[in-house]
Amino acid sequence: MSHETATPDDTTTRSLLGYPLRRIGLYLVLGAMAAFYLIPIETGLMTAITSPETYTGTHPYLPPLEPLIPGTGEFSLQPWGTAFEGLQSGLVNSLIMVIPATILSGLLGSMAAYGLTTISWRGQIGIYILFVAGIFIPYQAVLVPLTQFWYNVVPLRTLFEPIALTLPFVQEYHWKLVALTITHVAYGLPICTLLFRAHYKKLSDEMIEAARLDGASIYRIYRRIILPLSIPMFAVVFIYQFTQLWNDLLFALTIVQFGDAAVVTQELVGIGVSQSGTNFPLRMAAALLAALPTLLVYIVFGDKFAKGVAA
Amino acid sequence: MAELTLDGVTKVFTEDDGNEIVAVDEVSVDIQDGEFLVLVGPSGCGKSTTLRMVAGLESITSGEIRLAGNRINDKPPAERDIAMVFQSYALYPHMTVAENMSFGLEESTEMADDEISRIVDETTEMMGISDLRERKPADLSGGQQQRVALGRAIVRDPEAFLMDEPLSNLDAKLRATMRTELQRLQEELGVTTIYVTHDQTEAMTMGDRIAILDGGVLQQVGTPLECYHTPNNEFVAGFIGDPSMNFFEMDVDRNQLLGDLFEYPLTPAQQESVDEAREVTFGIRPEDIDIEVDGTVDSEFEFEVTVDVVEPRGDENTIHLTFDRDVDDPETFTATVSGLRQLQAGDAVVATFPPEAIHLFDVDSGAALHNRSLDVPEATEQLV
């Protein structure tokens, strides 16, 4: 006995050009959302390749195609060159701060999660709750205490002086970057621990027990079993922390303040703004340049990120 | 290789609301050096908990565990010189087979790398997995993974093996093959082994002795045949044997048993075992019941019954019989006959319960009052 399969009745579905109306509507909405999201970036890109002299009065979202199309501005890569010069020291400082901070966040986060999840000991739930509470601390609430901490309480500046004198490439003002690194690691630790904990909870208990019976100590189990199995999660934490720390302005302004140790987000604040007006192409080029490293990190580690988040 | 003694081992779990759960209750077993002891029982009977206490993965509430005469209660798992095979194999997924097997030796001994390599090679040969040495666990079949897990335990050359239902995740055919292979291996290596399973077939075929647990309490420790023919109590009698023993509730009336479905005379020896009891549970194994198709009731041990369901198994037929088929939900008992005999539902047959094959159990405690005779059946005793 066969049943007739239900077939869609074309006469009752409204359609336009042969495509169902609902689908057209869906694509229109998606297209509008995509346009809304992408237009600022597209505008920025178009502005960044327009020469600053011919910029004023043009439509920002149109590509600069003079002299072919009048009123769009001349093409020029000059803003990028100027931007790079202006952001140079900021980029270096950001790198000096972000890379160690990200690596430390990952390592310490995984160790903390291991200790709180895979190993059982009395009172660990209390410590874990403290970590979770740490995620919810608003950065704005701790700005003043942090300034006090780094400038008046902890003598990091004086402690750092001998290091700056003895090692090459290390400047005195780098102590501020050290302070910023430590701050970011501390405040990033709760979320990193949480991410690793979610991953470690999924590890087989019996596998850890087998390792214990095999004679491995707590440290050896971490090094030989947990750490190699955490690589996907390291990618996730790395991308997350890199993006967070690279884009941070609040702590940078508070701890570093302006000067030699300024990071790229701080430099971005003032670039292209002068008494003669705002150099928009330069600002756009600088903004895109500053965003480039995070984009690169995502491209390189992106698929691992997707796998790690889905796992 | 050493004797393993469990002396009054008890495990009590305390829940958050203060409730105490006794998972293992005063279990005492003396396992001889090189013996294969099977710990068997239904789910939740405490066998895995007992095994984990021996391994050191659970703390012991009270009692003592001794390995080679030394108390190991407080020793961490790494120092007990015990190797364990888990139900899920618990292999290290990021390591190759060879690395999985070397891990234990690298972590618990000072052996040189080439020495470890040699031992791993020998063991992979023994397990028949030499060509899988560079593969990762994800690329292995269930049976192969299980061999690696076994190999990992063997490589350690421990004082004792602990196995927690290692064959449960395999398909039936592979399980049967691995059963014999495990037995052969254990005999060859001569290592004291505790093997936990819920499958009574595995228990019967593999163990030198079996220890049956129910609700954390040890029911009986003995050779498989001892537990089969002379069970300590009703639980053991019903647990061991497939299809399981038939039980009937009967009242005692001096020299006979009276029940709802039938009456049964007792021999003098059986009467003595029953003693003062007013009620007993009457037990008889399916394979001890004789079925005659066109027979007549010649003695008080024979009854007219009807076939309800026939389960053909090839070598045997399991027949479900009932005294009264007209009832909505007939009470049935099981008999086993040769696979060549053709019986159908609805057939009227005569079932014989030979008196030398019956078991009698106390109704309240379940303790065995009378077990079957182990002699070859002779002429029936004179009835008083």
Q: Which residue has the tokens 């190759």?
A: B96
Alpha carbon of B365: minimum distance to chain A alpha carbons (Å):
38
Say what percent of chain B tops pLDDT 90: 55
In single-letter form, the type of residue at position B281 comes to T
Say what percent of chain B tops pLDDT 70: 97
Q: Which of B92, B109, B136 is best to mutate for the A interface (most A CBs within 10 A)? A: B92
**Cα–Cα distance, A64 to A54 (Å, whole number):** 9
Which residue ranges form the domains of chain B, and what is each CATH number? 4-236 (3.40.50.300), 247-379 (2.40.50.140)
Whether B361 has a pLDDT exceeding 50, the answer reads: yes
Q: Which residue has the tokens 């967070």?
A: A244
Whether B378 has a pLDDT exceeding 60, the answer reads: no
Mean pLDDT of B215-235: 93
Q: What is the predicted pLDDT for the residue at A190?
A: 94
Q: What is the predicted pLDDT for the residue at A97?
A: 92
Q: CA of A211: which chain B residue's CA is closest?
A: B104
The DSSP annotation for B168-210 comes to TTS-HHHHHHHHHHHHHHHHHHT-EEEEEES-HHHHHHH-SEE
**Cα–Cα distance, B158 to B83 (Å, whole number):** 6
Q: Are B12 and B6 in contact (CB under 8 A)?
A: no
- Is B90 in CB contact (< 8 Å) with chain A? yes
Helix (H) or strand (E) holding B196: strand B192-197
**Cα–Cα distance, B135 to B143 (Å, whole number):** 14
Token pair listed for A127: 């410590």
Tell me which DSSP letter residue A75 carries. B
Look at A210 and B86 and tell me if their CB atoms are within 8 Å.
Answer: yes
ipTM, interface predicted TM-score of the complex = 0.81
Look at B78 and A224 and tell me if their CB atoms are within 8 Å.
Answer: no
Q: Are B116 and B98 in contact (CB under 8 A)?
A: no
Q: Which of B16, B84, B136 is best to mutate for the A interface (most A CBs within 10 A)? A: B84
Look at A212 and B108 and tell me if their CB atoms are within 8 Å.
Answer: no
**Cα–Cα distance, B62 to B57 (Å, whole number):** 15
**Cα–Cα distance, B297 to B105 (Å, whole number):** 69
pLDDT tens track for A98-156: 999 999 999 999 999 999 988 888 888 899 999 999 889 898 999 999 999 988 888 88
Cβ-based contacts of A214 with chain B (< 8 Å): 78, 103-104, 107-108, 152, 156
Q: Which of A209, A217, A225 sits opposite B57 (nearest CB)?
A: A209
Mean pLDDT across chain B = 89
pLDDT tens track for A207-266: 999 999 998 889 999 999 999 999 888 988 999 999 999 999 999 999 988 888 889 998
CB contacts < 8 A, A to B, total 66
- Is B171 in CB contact (< 8 Å) with chain A? no
From residue A269, how far is each of A47, B26, B52, B285, B306 by CA, in Å? 18, 74, 62, 90, 96
Q: Which of B88, B94, B108 sits opposite A215 (nearest CB)?
A: B108
Kindly indicate the confidence band of residue A95, based on its pLDDT and cuts at 50, 70 and 90: very high
Cβ-based contacts of B76 with chain A (< 8 Å): 212
Token pair listed for B135: 């593969």
Those residues whose C-beta lies under 8 Å from the C-beta of residue B152, and which sit 6 or more positions away, are A210, A214, B83, B85, B91, B100, B101, B103, B104
Look at A212 and B76 and tell me if their CB atoms are within 8 Å.
Answer: yes
**Cα–Cα distance, B340 to B317 (Å, whole number):** 8
Q: Which of A213, A219, A220, A223 is best to mutate for the B interface (most B CBs within 10 A)? A: A213
Look at A215 and B104 and tell me if their CB atoms are within 8 Å.
Answer: yes
Q: CA of B91: which chain A residue's CA is closest?
A: A207
Whether A68 has a pLDDT exceeding 80, the answer reads: no
Whether B384 has a pLDDT exceeding 50, the answer reads: no
Q: Which of A209, A212, A225 sits opposite B92 (nearest CB)?
A: A225
Look at B92 and A209 and tell me if their CB atoms are within 8 Å.
Answer: no
Cβ-based contacts of B92 with chain A (< 8 Å): 207, 210-211, 225
Q: Which of A216, A220, A228 sits opposite B94 (nearest CB)?
A: A228
Mean pLDDT of B49-65: 93
Token pair listed for B237: 């009698």
Q: Which of A207, A217, A224 sits opposite B90 (nearest CB)?
A: A207
Look at B90 and A204 and tell me if their CB atoms are within 8 Å.
Answer: yes
Q: What is the predicted pLDDT for the residue at A157?
A: 85
- Is B138 in CB contact (< 8 Å) with chain A? no
Cβ-based contacts of A206 with chain B (< 8 Å): 86-88, 90
Q: Are B6 and B54 in contact (CB under 8 A)?
A: yes
- Is B93 in CB contact (< 8 Å) with chain A? yes
Whether A3 has a pLDDT exceeding 80, the answer reads: no
Tell me which DSSP letter residue A172 carries. T
Mean pLDDT of A181-189: 94
Mean pLDDT of B131-158: 92
pLDDT tens track for B308-328: 999 998 889 999 999 887 877
Whether B283 has a pLDDT exceeding 90, the answer reads: yes
Question: Does A23 or A272 have the greater pLDDT score?
Answer: A23
Q: Which of B49, B94, B168 is best to mutate for the A interface (most A CBs within 10 A)? A: B94
Cβ-based contacts of A229 with chain B (< 8 Å): 93-94
Whether B383 has a pLDDT exceeding 50, the answer reads: no
Q: Which residue has the tokens 């037995």?
A: B183
Cβ-based contacts of A207 with chain B (< 8 Å): 90-93
In chain A, domain spans: 14-75, 78-310
- Is B335 in CB contact (< 8 Å) with chain A? no
Which of B25, B367, B41, B380 shows the shortest CA–CA distance to B195?
B41
Task: Tell me which CATH homologous superfamily contains domain A78-310.
Answer: MetI-like (1.10.3720.10)
- Is B83 in CB contact (< 8 Å) with chain A? yes
- Is B77 in CB contact (< 8 Å) with chain A? yes
**Cα–Cα distance, B249 to B360 (Å, whole number):** 10
Cβ-based contacts of B103 with chain A (< 8 Å): 211, 214, 216, 224
Look at B83 and A213 and tell me if their CB atoms are within 8 Å.
Answer: yes
- The pTM score is 0.81
Q: Which of B94, B107, B152 sits opposite A215 (nearest CB)?
A: B107
Q: Which of A207, A214, A226 is best to mutate for the B interface (most B CBs within 10 A)? A: A214
Mean pLDDT across chain A = 86
Q: Are A281 and A64 in contact (CB under 8 A)?
A: no
Cβ-based contacts of B84 with chain A (< 8 Å): 209-210, 213
**Cα–Cα distance, B236 to B218 (Å, whole number):** 10
Q: Are B324 and B341 in contact (CB under 8 A)?
A: no
Radius of gyration of chain B (CA): 25
Kindly indicate the confidence band of residue B44, based on its pLDDT and cuts at 50, 70 and 90: confident
The two counts, helices (H) then strands (E), for chain B are 9, 21
